[in-house]
Structure 1
Amino acid sequence: MIRLEGITKQYHTGSKQVDALSGVDLTVARGEIFGVIGHSGAGKSTLLRSINLLERPSGGRVFVDGKELTALGAKQLQSERRRIGMIFQHFHLLSSATVADNIAFPLKLVKTPKAEIERKVSELLSLTGLEDHRHKYPSQLSGGQKQRVGIARALANDPQVLLCDEATSALDPQTTNSILNLLLDINRRFGLTIVLITHEMHVIRSICDRVAVIHGGRLVEQGPVTEVFLKPQHPVTREFIEQVTDPVELPSSGDEAARLLRLTFLGDSTYEPILSRAVQSTGVTFSILQGTISKLKDTPYGQLVVKLEGDGEAVKQTIETLRANGLDVEVL
């Protein structure tokens, strides 16, 4: 659906050149929710805006639904952009227009018939839970309500792609979750392809199918969220994982450390008593030092840090049994 090939972006400040993006290759499949996470200044906003050419790359090619946007003239590009909705961190609403008029604005720009505008606005007000706010102005709305208006406006032209520029970073945690649930519902209901950028791993964990980690204008890691979250390879990725996990304090004894394990459960095995069954068969005892059960989008997962005590051979057999039952076992 979306393909970026060798995207570079340079800015010039006086005689100095700043490389915002350096050779970025990225593919987003139709209908998936793809997240890009990075620290401030990493290049994630520049990357997102390169997709609809609000930021024209210095080099490389951008394809959306099989069309190379970087090869289009101004008029053709304007037409293709109508198929790409965008929502922003600070909403960008028209302060002197009502909620209904803000949603209708993109439709009026393309001279949509009045009856069709009314039908579409009513449909989007219902979709985003704003029916009772039709005649209100942005100053009368909460942050979450403003973002719902922004989402409704972005959907007015029935886009195939929705770009989300830090769409929840200005919101409190409860409102963030409601907006994420709305985006997930829209994705499932309409098969809309969503690309979002964020600096919050909670956002990635909640709704994304795949994720790319950007650092210094380069993608340093990418893959399915389950893989990147549970087995991070890059130090920056590990930093973001620590946002939503507690650090592990390991005993100082070398002998104990050799018997410390991190167990990762994924899918249905998360709720199975695999550890209990494994130690029953080997006579090893265990204590849990840390544990969590949660979800990565719809996939349940669990991680336990445990200390095993028993005969060395029995501990080894326990580890083999755990791995044979599909657990990822890391000896700490």
Structure 2
Amino acid sequence: MTALNGINLEIAQGEIFGIIGHSGAGKSTLIRCINRLEQPTSGSVWIGETDITRLGKRQLQRERRKLGMIFQHFNLLSSATVYENVAFPLKLEGKSRTEINRRVNEMLELVGLTEHASKYPAQLSGGQKQRVGIARALAPNPRVLLCDEATSALDPQTTDSILRLLLDINRKLGLTIVLITHEMHVIQSICDKVAVINGGIIVEQGPVIDVFLKPRETITQEFIKRESEGGEMFEEAIRAVHVPSSRTVKVTFIGELTYQSTLSQTVKETGVDFAILQGTISRIKETPYGQLVVRFEGDAASIDNTLRRLTEQRLEVEELQ
């Protein structure tokens, strides 16, 4: 059975790249190929200028130090303190006690756990355990951080705090992050680009804002619908209600257009009446976007003119009715 087929990804240095798919889609196999815990049957995996699929055992061990990894279930040493867990990979590298102490303290400060250094994993919350996992992964100073469902075992509030921490680490350290998940919220919150994997194949990829707002594939649309189920139900309901001489559309504003009065200025000039049936403003990472469901009322030519002028002003217009 083929787990992955025809995978072709390029992840830029300093990027947060998300890979989303259902259970069994091949996400974890893909991340294990990236650090060569799984050996691909064909193709190559390049980390910078090095093809790690061609390395011998000793060379591979050195190269893996450039790849940190955090896991869904933390994988901490239960009999070791927080300090000892973070120090563990540095001891394996043969670092001196002074180097280990300096680096561990730096990492614990970075993840906000300085006061918990002497505690054991059983004394920590889920979010604190994941912070230990992040500090341990970062201790050897990797170039890439691999995150395999790193927030799946956490509640929503803790998930958001871990995502903010990862974004902060990305900004401070310029670290490349590859993030495996089945939650579109995680992708939307911090990722720059995303690849959608299904049945071992990458079916769609690109900047998150493009994939999120203009999904081409059915599976991508399903992930997005799960994030906005109430909005989908509302759109279905208004499609079933007909108001004479009207058309209902969804208007999407992206970036600086989100906060401009483009809609009100346009309808003043075209002379159509309108009613806002629903509206939301949100963000995809740092980019704001707004979506309005609007019913335009008037003669057909005036409504056509309104929709055309909105499109000319770089708004996305999707007719619902």
Give the TM-score normalised by the residue count of structure 2.
Answer: 0.96
Matched, 1:103 2:86: yes
- Structure 1 residue 253 displacement after superposition: 5.5
- Give the count of matched residue pairs: 315
8 Å contact kept, 1:251–1:257: no
| Rounded Cα–Cα distance in structure 2 between residues aligned with 1:106 and 1:41 | 30
| Rounded Cα–Cα distance in structure 2 between residues aligned with 1:39 and 1:256 | 43
Residue 270 of structure 1: aligned partner = 258
| Rounded Cα–Cα distance in structure 2 between residues aligned with 1:251 and 1:164 | 41
8 Å contact kept, 2:67–2:142: yes
8 Å contact kept, 1:285–1:309: yes
Residue identity in the other structure for 2:116: H
8 Å contact kept, 1:88–1:164: yes
Residue 318 of structure 2: aligned partner = 330
- Structure 1 residue 329 displacement after superposition: 1.1
8 Å contact kept, 2:245–2:299: no
Residue 65 of structure 2: aligned partner = 82
Residue 312 of structure 1: aligned partner = 300
Distance 1:175 1:312, change over 3 A: same
Of 152, 161, 164, 1:169 maps to 152
8 Å contact kept, 1:162–1:195: yes
- Structure 1 residue 304 displacement after superposition: 1.3
| Rounded Cα–Cα distance in structure 1 between residues aligned with 2:245 and 2:276 | 14
Matched, 1:155 2:138: yes
Structure whose residues are more often helix by fraction: 2
Distance 1:30 1:258, change over 3 A: farther
8 Å contact kept, 2:252–2:317: yes
Of 160, 166, 176, 1:193 maps to 176
| Rounded Cα–Cα distance in structure 2 between residues aligned with 1:52 and 1:199 | 20
Which of 1 and 2 has higher RCO (CA within 8 Å, sep 6+)? 2
Matched, 1:292 2:280: yes
- Structure 1 residue 258 displacement after superposition: 7.1
| Rounded Cα–Cα distance in structure 1 between residues aligned with 2:144 and 2:94 | 22
| Rounded Cα–Cα distance in structure 1 between residues aligned with 2:319 and 2:244 | 11
Residue 19 of structure 2: aligned partner = 36
8 Å contact kept, 1:256–1:307: no
Secondary structure of residue in 1 paired with 2:146: strand
Give the TM-score normalised by the residue count of structure 1.
Answer: 0.93
8 Å contact kept, 1:262–1:331: yes
Secondary structure of residue in 2 paired with 1:21: coil
Residue identity in the other structure for 2:55: L
- Structure 1 residue 302 displacement after superposition: 0.8
8 Å contact kept, 1:34–1:194: yes
- Structure 1 residue 289 displacement after superposition: 2.4
| Rounded Cα–Cα distance in structure 1 between residues aligned with 2:114 and 2:152 | 25
| Rounded Cα–Cα distance in structure 2 between residues aligned with 1:301 and 1:98 | 44
Residue 3 of structure 1: aligned partner = none
8 Å contact kept, 1:258–1:331: no
8 Å contact kept, 2:271–2:302: yes
- Structure 1 residue 283 displacement after superposition: 1.4
| Rounded Cα–Cα distance in structure 2 between residues aligned with 1:144 and 1:129 | 11
1:230-266, CA deviations, whole angstroms, 9 ceiling, x for partnerless residues?
Answer: 0000000001111222212233367769712111110
Give structure 1 stretches of 5+ with no counterpart.
1-17
Matched, 1:206 2:189: yes
Residue identity in the other structure for 2:280: T
